[in-house]
Amino acid sequence: MTSADPTCPATGQTLSLDELMTDHTEPLFTFVRTLVTDHHLAEDIVQETFICAWRHTNRHRHGQGSVRDWLMTMARDLAVTSLREVAVQRETIDAEVDVPEPDHADAAAATAEAVTLLRRLPEEHRAVLLHTYVAGRTAHQTARVLGVPVRTVRSRHNHALSALRASCTAR
């Protein structure tokens, strides 16, 4: 025993960390190993249990269970906390790994191709597509903006889409 060993207020006995470890390491490790699958994590939890027990001997009440039960309870709590921390770390890592990055090169190539195809259309057909798709206007709104009948807008729209489809299938 060292002079730094605490005294249990319930029993008045000096608790030696060496004695605690000698008497309870093996059963604690076996118990913790059933809770966690990692051997090294189990060792860390057992060590942390002894440190907590030694620091907080005043929390064990004489006559309210054995020292081993008290240690097992602390070890279980520490194991649960460790398992939760590991789960959070895995979720964070998985979230970082599973996030697909958008491929801007494909979008840029598609935009360039769309602009090229739109430039090949007659001006009145291109105007109808720009008003309906880009500006998000209805056929009636587009007709008002362009100053043409709604039927003309619909006709130009259909002709423009047909021309674009033909250009795409010709490639």
Q: DSSP string of 75-109?
A: HHHHHHHHHHHHHHHHHHHHHHHH-PPP-HHHHHH
| Domain end call among 65, 98, 131 | 98
Q: Give the CATH number of the domain where residue 163 resides.
A: 1.10.10.10
Do 25 and 89 have their domain in common?
A: yes
Is 109 a domain residue? yes
Does residue 4 form part of some domain? no
Tell me, what's the pLDDT at 101?
Answer: 65
152, pLDDT greater than 90? yes
pLDDT over 70 (residue 150) = yes
- Position 144, amino acid: R
In a domain, 152, yes or no: yes
Q: What is the pLDDT of residue 144?
A: 93
8 Å CB contact between 24 and 66: no
Query: Are 66 and 121 contained in the same domain?
Result: no
pTM confidence score:
0.45
Decide which of 47 and 111 is more confident: 47
In a domain, 12, yes or no: no
Claim to verify: residue 40 and residue 82 sit in the same structural domain: yes
State the average pLDDT for the chain: 80
- Considering the domain boundaries, does residue 5 fall inside one? no
Domain span at 53: 17-98
Same domain as 118, residue 151: yes
**Domain count of the chain?**
2
18-59 pLDDT per residue, tens: 777 888 899 999 999 988 888 999 999 999 998 888 787 766
Domain boundary among 37, 65, 98: 98
Residues 75 and 116 in one domain: no
Q: What is the pLDDT of residues 78-90, one digit of tens each?
A: 999 988 888 877 7
Whether 28 maps to a domain, the answer reads yes
DSSP state of 14: B
What are the tens digits of pLDDT across the range 54-79? 787 766 655 566 788 888 889 999 99
Average pLDDT, integer, range 1-19? 54
Selection from 61-65, 106-110, 117-121 with the highest mean pLDDT: 117-121
Among residues 98, 132, 149, which one ends one of the domains? 98
Q: DSSP assignment of 112-168, as one string?
A: HHHHHHHHHS-HHHHHHHIIIIIS---HHHHHHHHTS-HHHHHHHHHHHHHHHHHHH
Distance CA 127, CA 131 (A): 6
